[in-house]
Structure 1
């Protein structure tokens, strides 16, 4: 079933500072027009707290933006329309960010740390290498999960353009 896409009154504001702010998460697969649906979230420490809206967007290039403390990277979006939130996409984003990410990154380190008392005394260098290496392996695995999700696992949604309704028009 196609998703209804309404025209936008204005492009929503995005931006985070140290993980606090508004960002786009929960993207669907890119369609034939090169666009996808994505949900705008309020985040705390890059963890999604509340969905703020769902949009049909084209992802632009990622650019370096100079700032006071150095440069940061930002992804530019072209907003093509607004759609209704989908509960399945909201739940999928919550599960991924609040369950999968901590399990992949912190899970192995926690398990290793719980059983590492004797190991750390017998093989201290190997212990440090594993303690530092496990989160790196987890982050690499997480990056591959994100790529797999965007290319193959995320649902492909079809947009259906609709005109602005009476509630969307300004007097």
Structure 2
């Protein structure tokens, strides 16, 4: 499908990760090397930050690919709380896919939890020259207490699961240890 600018193509692409799950993303291609954009916790490739960044990078003559980590958005798999290394491996599958298809990956940009994924990816693979972490968390201990409650370890030990709740005490998901 044609994009918004002359010479630009926008299309949906599915990429298999190392577990055989389809990762679904949007390629906005203007023929240049590309930047891969990664979403945050409980988000998707359609997040406003990522769509705005994609638009801006396209205007600067960079192609972009924004995708859903496994278990998020349109991608296959199950959501897992705190799956930082799993996200980094999904990102590895995406980078490998584009390189195998003759594309140069110039940069990785991650927002929130995606910011942690790009840093973990870089720490393991060291093969992308530019990595941008936008609002990635650096001290996760308090975030876990905020989302799971003070007694989360006791609940996990007693029940083998804990509920993740929002600010209004509504259960968002159950996590299994």
Rg bigger for which structure? Answer: 1
Which is richer in helix?
Answer: 1
- Please give the TM-score of this superposition, normalised by the length of structure 2: 0.26
Q: Greater RCO between the two (CA within 8 Å, min separation 6)?
A: 1
- Please give the TM-score of this superposition, normalised by the length of structure 1: 0.27
Which is richer in strand?
Answer: 1
